Amino acid sequence: MKILLVYPEFPDTFWSFKHALKFINKKINNPPLGLLTIAALLPNHWERKLVDTNIHQLSDSDIEWADMIFLSAMDVQRKSVKKIVKQVKAKKKPIVAGGPLFTGEYESFPQIDTFILNEGEITLPEFIRDIELGVTPKRVYTTDKYADLNLTPPPDISLLELNEYDCMSIQFSRGCPFQCDFCNVTALLGHTPRTKSIQQIINELNHLYDAGWRRNIFFVDDNFIGNKKIIKDEILPALIEWRKGKEGCHFITEASINLADDEDLMDLMAKAGFVDVFIGIETPVEDSLIECNKKQNSKRDLIKSVKVIQAHGMQVMAGFIVGFDNDPIDVFDRLINFIQESGIVTAMVGLLQAPYGTKLYSRLSNEGRLVTEMTGDNADGTTNIVTKMNPSILRKGYFKIMESIYSPKYLYPRIKTFLKQYTPQIDNTRLHFNELVAFLKTIFLMGFNFREARYYWELLFWTIRNDIKKIPLAVTLTIYGYHFRKITYQNMRLISSV
């Protein structure tokens, strides 16, 4: 059996980082961890190949080689999925699909032959058994059970072109203890964090390191600190030990804001090599936090929490949302001021959307307030809900936020605010050749841009005077700003043309 695993293309979004990746000559940020894990679950005697369409176009010869095409996708990859399905079906090859997009709405894809839904560790073996026995596969393989991650094999990284990626991915846990009503993580993976063993994680890290990987590694857990005890007592000490004598391999992850409440946890994470942590802050409006059941964020000084985490050597990247029912008309200015004061440079702001399977989706469906399928890109100025705020005011206010926070006037002072409060715990100054080239590109693109030049050079010289070791980070953040500006103006043009 020959299996072609195909990863659909990401559109040009905030999360794609495409414009930033061009500076370091990389094609895509992260590999398709789900497909790599599926590949590892296949029988050893099955042949397998991977085509990541973010790197290479899917060719007819790729399709002709295979007996079956495996697809995995998120909502934001919908357009690419439809293109791939059309191309594959023209060659009359069967398609097997899984992932969040299909788990939520597999019935929208009648051309796909078989769906492996929920967690593949449970549903894929049933499909394989049918194939091996010569039984016609069912259309849908699904389960309401959760997988035992101790039985999850390491992802098959041998399928990857490592040099095309900026960051590798690894997963320690699934599930989150919180109940934010707009989040489909718990709908898909449950509220009880399930974890791999420490040895599994070390083995996966060794596979990456032995393959020559020396760049960032993203722990894709939706809430890395969901089980604080095992994180503090087992995983972080093991990571600290693993990193001894090793170069590179800094870690990125996602966590909840209550990380700021635990000094020991922050110290351990910093010592273990965590340099960036993404946190869903959502909004400074208390009534909106209560509305979406974001209890862990309410009744606290969010800016102080952010500054505490950054003072412990981890840059806080954050998600924000506008469009809640309780958002006041001044929410846009309040969010701009919050982002500036907090020093959150990488601020992902989006319109509220209701993913399938969430409590928000159910509530709005009952209220008759769902209007269309969501794009999965909450930063494109669209939403799949009827908002309480006038849609025109909401859209204009949203783009006002994005135009403001990523304009040089706001971005560069915010970078300085962050650098002042950021205290790195590990050496993160070693540069690769691509990063030196990226620095030169910023000189030409930002340093000689009449709207940006004075901010760029002032930041560079300020950083040299105050802490020259932070220059690589300062330059990286200017590149992020360049990417976000590109996406913002692109989305504004698309919206205005509709």
What is the per-residue DSSP string for 80-125?
Answer: HHHHHHHHHHHTT--EEEESHHHHHHGGG-TT--EEE-S-HHHHHH
Tokens 């050893």 sit at which residue? 44
Contacts 24+ apart (CB under 8 A), 195-198: 195/149, 195/227, 195/230, 195/235, 196/149, 196/150, 196/152, 196/171, 196/172, 197/150, 198/234, 198/235, 198/238
Tokens 């269309």 sit at which residue? 372
pLDDT below 50 — which residues of the chain? none
pLDDT value at residue 394? 95
Give per-residue pLDDT as tens, 443-453.
Answer: 999 999 999 99
Are β-strands 194-195 and 173-174 bridged in parallel, bridged antiparallel, or unpaired? antiparallel
Residue 138 DSSP one-character state: P
Tokens 């205290």 sit at which residue? 423
What class is the 2-141 domain? alpha beta
State the helix-helix crossing angle for 471-497 and 391-405, rounded to 10 degrees.
150
pLDDT value at residue 493? 82
470: alpha, beta or left? (left if phi > 0; alpha if psi -120 to 50): alpha
Give ranges for CATH 3.40.50.280 in the chain: 2-141
Give ranges for CATH 3.20.20.70 in the chain: 149-347
The amino acid at residue 349 is V
Phi, psi of 157 (to 5 degrees): -75, -5
CATH of domain 149-347: 3.20.20.70
pLDDT value at residue 497? 60
State the helix-helix crossing angle for 391-405 and 408-421, rounded to 10 degrees.
60
pLDDT value at residue 429? 63
Can you tell me the distance from the alpha carbon of 190 to that of 78, in angstroms, rounded to the nearest whole number? 24
The pTM score is: 0.94
pLDDT value at residue 159? 98
Q: Taking a C-beta distance cutoff of 8 angstroms, is the pair 326, 288 a contact?
A: yes
Residue 250 tokens read as 């800094």
Bridge partners of 173?
195
